[in-house]
Amino acid sequence: MSTLLSIQEVSKRYGSHVALQNINLEIQTGHVFGLLGPNGAGKTSLIRIINQITAPDEGRVIFKGETLRPEHIAHIGYLPEERGLYKKMKVGEQCVYLAQLKGLSKQEAVKRLTYWFERFDIMAWWNKTIEDLSKGMAQKVQFITTILHEPELLILDEPFSGFDPINAALIREEMLRLKGLGATIILSTHDMGSVEELCDEIGLIHQSNLILSGPVKQVKNQFKQHLYEIEYIGTAMELGIALGHQFELMDHQVLDGFNKAKIKIHGELKLNDLLRSVMQNSEILSARELVPDMHEIFIQAVTQKQQEL
Amino acid sequence: MNKILLIIQREYLSRVKKKSFLIMTFLGPLLFAGLMFGAIAVTMNDKSVYQVLVVDPYAVITRVDSANQTLYPRFVDQFKDDERIIYSFTRKEVTPEEFKEGQYQVMLQVDDVTINDGKCNFYYKKFPGESVQRKVGDDLEISLERFRVVDSLQLDYEKYKRAKMNVSFADINVANLGEEDKTQEKAVIGFVFAIMIYMFIFMYGVQVMRGVIEEKTNRIVEVIVSSVKPFQLMMGKVIGIGLVGLTQFLMWVILSSIVATVGISFFSSQIAGGAAVVENAQMIQTGGGQAAMMAELMNNQAINWFFQINWTLMISLFIFYFIGGYFLYASLFAAIGAAVDSETDTQQFMLPVSLPLVFGYIVSAMLIDNPESGAGNFFALFPLTSPVVMMVKATMSTTSVTMILLSMAILVITFIAFIALAGRIYRVGILMYGKKASYRELWKWIRYNP
């Protein structure tokens, strides 16, 4: 596996305000990287540095083994959170213009646009102005302009906001397809569901600092609390006896014909040990480990950091 | 294609394709010419006949014919009827009310004040126009003069006429020996140029500002600056819109020359037929109104100075000063656009930027009366006013080639500096939302690292 983008000790200040402090990140080729963080954490500043809209005060950005330079723009596609197109310009004309700015020839741009417009079934919009389109329609157009030049690195800032579920699914599908074709994606979003579904790695920025990063699985493991949920047939008293001092009953619910218990395992013990103990006087219906979801991890990491400060 | 060229192309095409541009381009000169020719046409085509009553209670300019007891003008050659004026005379007092009720359209009251000071009440029901008033005025003036010469001074009028002299100046600038200089008239043309520069810089400068605000509020700027440098975007916009301005100007020059050629040939044939519109050139020079000025412009003799103006040079100067002044102001307007979130926030920055331009316009207007003033020289060099002021000075030929070159150099150096400065504000401003930009904030932006 190779690194497509490497952010090394990047810092950025605006006057006295520190936007980014000593950020280090590695983004692997062909992966979806979730760039997370509360509002105002510094995500946009980092994205702007990668897009070369601004330059870092310290540190450097390496793209495919080379220091980031203007020629790399043609390999990067950027969908900003705040979408915008020229309202009075015709859709087709506008897409050609933006593609040309990304280095495509006019002919090539028209050819590719025709393909995408047909694919998204929006050919009829070609001669309409953006004013005439709904917000969701304009978003679709903007998504096309972002990926038209077949960038190796896609930076998508809240790509699903403003889309209805059908179109959001369409965009999600396209992202996965592009990933399959080898594109690397930086996904900046507050929608933790899509992070869990799409991302291979994440980086969490909070108050200008990177406070958490790594493969999703690894991050989740890091936040595991060794909690298990068991559904069983038996009584709570019997379960209590079986658990002894090695296991801690965190929560217990009596349901229709069976019970549900949330149990924490201490020390070096494993799920097998728990099951062995419970099996003695109860019938186990199911057992699973309770892994925190990204939403919980996000909140936990951010509040933890805030308490530290 | 080069990205800045792409931006220029978009800015240019999206504007010249607009209906409003086409309408302005074709209607502008027509409207302008229409207004000027219309004003003349009104005075020239007014063929109505005016009955003028001359009230002469002191009997200074009328005489009674003993045969039929009728009043006649006392001095031959004066108060003769022509195709537009029919004179009648009375020695009885006529009140304005009586005049209002009566048949006459104009009434001239020659009272003691008129006799002593030359001030005369000119009553009318409908203003008869410059030419009628001038004819009546001339008749009265010469009649009174003859009355004073003959009656008061007891002199022979013919002798007096021989002794009397009118002084008229032929303005000759020693730098251009051999040709009579019509500085005043040229000033008017220069002023028209100045107004155009002023108008163009403002019109297109504001368009730059609007364009920047549009991109910023649209948020498309974020997409574009991920493809091009903010400076390229700014320059592309400034140049593209500037080219729109130049296109419009050139179209106006071409269309105006067509309209003017047609118009002048039409009106000169009219004048040649009528012959008498311009009778007293001196009077026109001392302020005979715009229509009369235009009439003089078209008079064969007077039109010479019109061709004295080096039009090729003037149009080249216009293009240079438009470009220079436009770059200077457009870069400032671009910076303003980048600093605000909406057009309503532009007020606090607009005033200091537009003030020098307005000032240049005022100085230009004053130059017409005071062409060689020292302040004029200063403002012709000062880059924020030179595009407007120097146009007037250059048309009037009250400046030297060295001065023009110096002002051009200062202008170019300043606009380069302004563009650099505006670029620094621009690249920060376009990505800054919701922050109220103060002058202090702008200064901070200028010093930011990119």
Which pLDDT tens digit goes with each residue over A126-173?
999 988 988 888 888 999 999 998 899 999 998 988 888 888 998 999
Q: Are residues A207 and A117 in the same domain?
A: yes
> At residue B276, does pLDDT exceed 50?
no
Q: Tell me: the pLDDT tens digits for A225-275?
A: 889 999 999 888 888 888 888 888 889 999 988 999 999 988 788 889 889
- B223 at interface of A, judged by CB pairs closer than 8 A: yes
Instruction: Name chain A contacts of B221, Cβ cutoff 8 Å.
Output: 84
* Residues B340-344, mean pLDDT to the nearest whole number: 83
Position B285 confidence tier, pLDDT thresholds 50, 70, 90: very low
Q: Are residues B34 and B55 in the same domain?
A: no
Instruction: Name chain B contacts of A52, Cβ cutoff 8 Å.
Output: 226
Mutation pick from A10, A83, A86, A149 vs chain B, by most beta carbons of B within 10 Å, is A86
Instruction: Name chain A contacts of B450, Cβ cutoff 8 Å.
Output: 54-55
Q: Which of B19-23, B279-283, B306-310, B311-315 has the lowest mean pLDDT?
A: B279-283
Position B179 confidence tier, pLDDT thresholds 50, 70, 90: low
Q: What is the pLDDT at residue B148?
A: 86
Considering CB atoms only, which of B3, B218, B431 is closest to A84?
Answer: B218
Is B168 within a domain?
no
Instruction: Name chain A contacts of B219, Cβ cutoff 8 Å.
Output: 80, 82-84
Q: What is the pLDDT at residue B183?
A: 63
Percentage of the residues of chain A whose pLDDT score is greater than 90 = 46
CATH number (domain holding residue A235): 3.30.70.60
CATH number (domain holding residue B145): 3.40.190.10
Considering CB atoms only, which of B3, B7, B218 is closest to A87?
Answer: B218
Q: Are residues B11 and B68 in the same domain?
A: no
Considering CB atoms only, which of B6, B14, B230 is closest to A101?
Answer: B6
- Count up the domains in chain A and report the number: 2
Look up the domain containing A142 and give its range: 3-221
Instruction: Name chain A contacts of B234, Cβ cutoff 8 Å.
Output: none
> At residue B138, does pLDDT exceed 80?
yes
Identify the domain boundary among B135, B163, B191.
Answer: B163
Check B218 against A86: CB less than 8 A apart: yes
Q: What is the pLDDT at residue B287?
A: 41
What is the per-residue DSSP string for B359-376?
HHHHHHHHHTT-TT-HHH
Check B223 against A57: CB less than 8 A apart: no
Of the ranges A115-124, B39-48, B265-274, the best mean pLDDT one:
A115-124
Q: Are residues A164 and A93 in the same domain?
A: yes
> At residue A109, does pLDDT exceed 90?
yes
Q: Are residues A88 and A49 in the same domain?
A: yes
Q: Is the CA virtual torsion B8, B12, B15, B21 positive or negative?
A: positive
> At residue B362, does pLDDT exceed 50?
yes
> At residue B181, does pLDDT exceed 70?
no
Q: How far is B220 from chain A (nearest CA, A)?
A: 4
> At residue B307, does pLDDT exceed 70?
no
Considering CB atoms only, which of B1, B222, B228 is closest to A80?
Answer: B222
The contact set of A with B (CB < 8 A) is 14-15, 48, 51-55, 57, 70, 73, 76, 78, 80, 82-89, 97-98, 100-102, 142, 145
Q: Are residues A135 and A42 in the same domain?
A: yes
Q: What is the pLDDT at residue A76?
A: 92
Q: Are residues A153 and A253 in the same domain?
A: no
Q: Are residues A207 and A278 in the same domain?
A: no
Q: What is the pLDDT at residue A185?
A: 95
Q: What is the pLDDT at residue B48?
A: 79
Check B218 against A101: CB less than 8 A apart: no
- B218 at interface of A, judged by CB pairs closer than 8 A: yes
Check A53 against B431: CB less than 8 A apart: yes
Structure token digits, residue B28: 């502008």
Instruction: Name chain A contacts of B7, Cβ cutoff 8 Å.
Output: 101
Q: Are residues B315 and B396 in the same domain?
A: yes
Is B303 within a domain?
yes
Q: Are residues B190 and B281 in the same domain?
A: yes
Of the ranges A167-176, B265-274, B278-287, the best mean pLDDT one:
A167-176
> At residue B132, does pLDDT exceed 90?
no
Is A56 within a domain?
yes
Q: What is the pLDDT at residue A120?
A: 87
Residues B202-213 as b/e (b if ≥16 CB within 10 A, e otherwise) read bebbbbbbebbb
* Residues A33-52, mean pLDDT to the nearest whole number: 90
* Residues B295-307, mean pLDDT to the nearest whole number: 53
Is A261 within a domain?
yes
Q: Are residues B130 and B265 in the same domain?
A: no
CATH number (domain holding residue A28): 3.40.50.300
Query: Which residue do the tokens 């504007």 mark?
Result: B15
Query: What rounded mean pLDDT belongs to chain A?
Result: 89
Q: Are residues B132 and B29 in the same domain?
A: no
3-class DSSP state of A32: strand
Q: Are residues A231 and A201 in the same domain?
A: no
Considering CB atoms only, which of B1, B223, B448 is closest to A98?
Answer: B223
3-class DSSP state of B79: coil
Identify the domain boundary among A198, A221, A244.
Answer: A221
Q: Which of residues 226-255 of B touch A (CB under 8 A)?
A: 226-230
Q: How far is B216 from chain A (nearest CA, A)?
A: 9
Q: Are residues A54 and A177 in the same domain?
A: yes
Q: How large is the greatest C-alpha to C-alpha distance in chain B, in angstroms?
A: 103
Q: Are residues B389 and B334 in the same domain?
A: yes
Check B223 against A15: CB less than 8 A apart: no
Position B46 confidence tier, pLDDT thresholds 50, 70, 90: low
Q: Are residues A176 and A271 in the same domain?
A: no
Is B60 within a domain?
yes
Q: How far apart are CA B145 and CA B118, in angstroms?
A: 10
Report the chain A residue with the minimal C-alpha distance to residue B18. A88
Identify the domain boundary among B163, B197, B225.
Answer: B163
Q: What is the pLDDT at residue B302?
A: 46
Q: Are residues B290 and B339 in the same domain?
A: yes
Alpha helix (H) ranges present in B219-346? 220-224, 230-274, 281-285, 290-298, 304-308, 311-339
Q: Tell me: the pLDDT tens digits for B394-404?
A: 877 777 888 88
Check A85 against B218: CB less than 8 A apart: yes
Is A295 within a domain?
no
Look at residues B106, B98, B163, B167 and name the one whose alpha carbon lies nearest to residue B137.
B106
Check A53 against B225: CB less than 8 A apart: yes
Q: What is the pLDDT at residue B372?
A: 74
Q: Which of B19-33, B70-84, B107-121, B236-250 has the lowest mean pLDDT?
A: B19-33
Structure token digits, residue B123: 């009553």
Q: What is the pLDDT at residue B275?
A: 44
* Residues B283-287, mean pLDDT to the nearest whole number: 40
Q: How far apart are CA B192 and CA B361, in angstroms?
A: 11
Q: Are residues A230 and A216 in the same domain?
A: no
Report the chain B residue with the minimal C-alpha distance to residue A12. B449
> At residue B76, does pLDDT exceed 90?
no
Q: How far is A95 from chain B (nearest CA, A)?
A: 12
Q: Which of residues 8-37 of B touch A (CB under 8 A)?
A: 10, 14
Q: pTM of the full predicted structure? A: 0.72
Position B83 confidence tier, pLDDT thresholds 50, 70, 90: confident
Considering CB atoms only, which of B10, B219, B449 is closest to A55?
Answer: B449
> At residue B117, does pLDDT exceed 60?
yes
Higher pLDDT, B60 or B303: B60
Rg (CA), chain A: 24
Q: Tell me: the pLDDT tens digits for B226-272?
A: 888 888 999 999 999 999 999 988 888 888 778 777 776 776 666 55
Q: How far is B374 from chain A (nearest CA, A)?
A: 45
> At residue B278, does pLDDT exceed 60?
no
Q: Are residues A243 and A270 in the same domain?
A: yes
* Residues A39-52, mean pLDDT to the nearest whole number: 89
Report the chain A residue with the minimal C-alpha distance to residue B225. A53
Identify the domain boundary among A199, A221, A243.
Answer: A221
Look at residues B371, B360, B351 and name the one whose alpha carbon lies nearest to residue B325.
B360
Check A89 against B14: CB less than 8 A apart: yes
* Residues B145-172, mean pLDDT to the nearest whole number: 82
Q: What is the pLDDT at residue B308?
A: 65
Check B448 against A15: CB less than 8 A apart: yes
Look up the domain containing B437 and give its range: 3-41+182-447
Q: How far is A93 from chain B (nearest CA, A)?
A: 10
> At residue B277, does pLDDT exceed 50?
no
Q: What is the pLDDT at residue B289?
A: 46
* Residues B347-376, mean pLDDT to the nearest whole number: 83
Position B301 confidence tier, pLDDT thresholds 50, 70, 90: very low
Is B176 within a domain?
no
- B435 at interface of A, judged by CB pairs closer than 8 A: no
Instruction: Name chain B contacts of A102, Cβ cutoff 8 Å.
Output: 227
What count of other Cβ atoms lies within 10 Å of the Cβ of residue B380?
A: 27
Q: Are residues B230 and B357 in the same domain?
A: yes
- Count up the domains in chain B and report the number: 2
Identify the domain boundary among B118, B134, B163.
Answer: B163
Higher pLDDT, B104 or B283: B104
> At residue A209, does pLDDT exceed 50?
yes
Q: Are residues B130 and B15 in the same domain?
A: no
Check A55 against B222: CB less than 8 A apart: no
Q: Tell me: the pLDDT tens digits for B431-449?
A: 877 666 777 778 777 777 6
Mutation pick from A12, A82, A90 vs chain B, by most beta carbons of B within 10 Å, is A82
Identify the domain boundary among A221, A246, A269.
Answer: A221
* Residues B128-144, mean pLDDT to the nearest whole number: 86
- B84 at interface of A, judged by CB pairs closer than 8 A: no
Q: Are residues B29 and B93 in the same domain?
A: no
Is A121 within a domain?
yes
Is B420 within a domain?
yes
Considering CB atoms only, which of B10, B223, B450 is closest to A54?
Answer: B450
Check A53 against B6: CB less than 8 A apart: no
Higher pLDDT, B319 or B186: B319
> At residue B420, does pLDDT exceed 70?
yes
Q: What is the pLDDT at residue B39?
A: 60
Report the chain A residue with the minimal C-alpha distance to residue B431. A53
Cβ contacts from A onto B, under 8 A:
66
Is A309 within a domain?
no
* Residues B175-198, mean pLDDT to the nearest whole number: 71
Q: Are residues B420 and B395 in the same domain?
A: yes
Residues A118-150 as b/e (b if ≥16 CB within 10 A, e otherwise) read eebebeebeeebbeebeeebbbbbbbbbbbbbb
Q: What is the pLDDT at residue B306?
A: 62
Structure token digits, residue A309: 């400060």
> At residue B293, does pLDDT exceed 80?
no
Contact present, B181 and B306 (Cβ < 8 Å):
no
Q: How far is B5 from chain A (nearest CA, A)?
A: 10
Q: What is the pLDDT at residue B353?
A: 85
Residues B225-256 as b/e (b if ≥16 CB within 10 A, e otherwise) read bbbbbbbbbbbbbbbbbbbbbbebbebbeebb
Q: Are residues A142 and A246 in the same domain?
A: no
Q: How far apart are CA A30 and CA A176, in angstroms?
A: 10
Instruction: Name chain B contacts of A86, Cβ cutoff 8 Å.
Output: 14, 214-215, 218, 220
Q: Tell me: the pLDDT tens digits for A279-292?
A: 888 899 999 988 88
Higher pLDDT, B413 or A14: B413
Position B333 confidence tier, pLDDT thresholds 50, 70, 90: very high
Check A78 against B226: CB less than 8 A apart: yes
Q: How far apart are CA B437 and CA B335, in angstroms?
A: 11
